[in-house]
């Protein structure tokens, strides 16, 4: 399913501690749109559906809904911190094309509807 690098795990833990919400999980999802067809999204969530896939790794939980799971199978979530901009990054083996903004991708089946980057 999805894996999380040690750097991303530590960043998630820091964010959860700042929000005083240690029991929340990181929800990772894709939605149609973005300049390449699909956009990545992440947020904290304490509600899960019966069909969510839940991965527990190094003290954090990651939840993925079934629709997103088909596009995120084998993906890795990383976190980089740099002067030129950093943040969470998804390394997705299912992406056949990505956008220059790094927040959208296209899958082999081309199911997403591409939109201008400014609409992301």
- Predicted confidence at residue 119, as pLDDT, reads 41
CA R_g for the chain? 14
- pTM for the whole structure: 0.77
The third-level CATH classification (topology) of the domain covering 3-109 is: Hypothetical Protein Aq_1857; Chain: A; (2.60.300)
- Predicted confidence at residue 98, as pLDDT, reads 61
pLDDT (tens digit, 0 to 9) for every residue of the chain, 120 residues total? 899 999 999 999 999 999 999 889 999 998 877 665 788 889 999 999 999 999 999 999 999 999 999 989 999 999 988 777 678 888 888 776 565 544 554 555 544 444 443 443
Residue 72 near residue 27, CB atoms below 8 Å: no
Q: Could you tell me the residue ranges of all domains in the chain?
A: 3-109
Q: How is 60-103 classified by DSSP, letter by letter?
A: EEEEE-HHHHHHHTT-EEEEE--TT--EEEEE-TTEEEE-TTSS
Instruction: List the beta bridge partners of residue 76.
Output: 3, 91
- Predicted confidence at residue 37, as pLDDT, reads 73
Map tokens 């299912």 to a residue: 94
């Amino acid at each position: 399913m999805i894996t999380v690098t040690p750097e991303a795990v530590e960043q998630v833990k820091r964010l959860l501690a700042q929000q005083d919400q240690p029991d929340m999980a990181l929800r990772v999802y894709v939605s149609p749109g973005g300049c390449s067809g699909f956009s990545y999204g992440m947020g904290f969530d304490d509600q899960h559906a019966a069909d969510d896939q839940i991965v527990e790794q190094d003290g954090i939980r990651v939840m993925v809904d079934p629709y997103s799971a088909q596009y995120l199978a084998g993906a890795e979530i990383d976190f980089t911190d740099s002067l030129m901009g950093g943040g969470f990054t998804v390394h997705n083996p299912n992406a056949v094309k990505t956008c220059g903004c790094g927040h959208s991708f296209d899958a082999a089946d081309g199911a997403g509807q591409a939109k201008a980057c400014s609409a992301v």
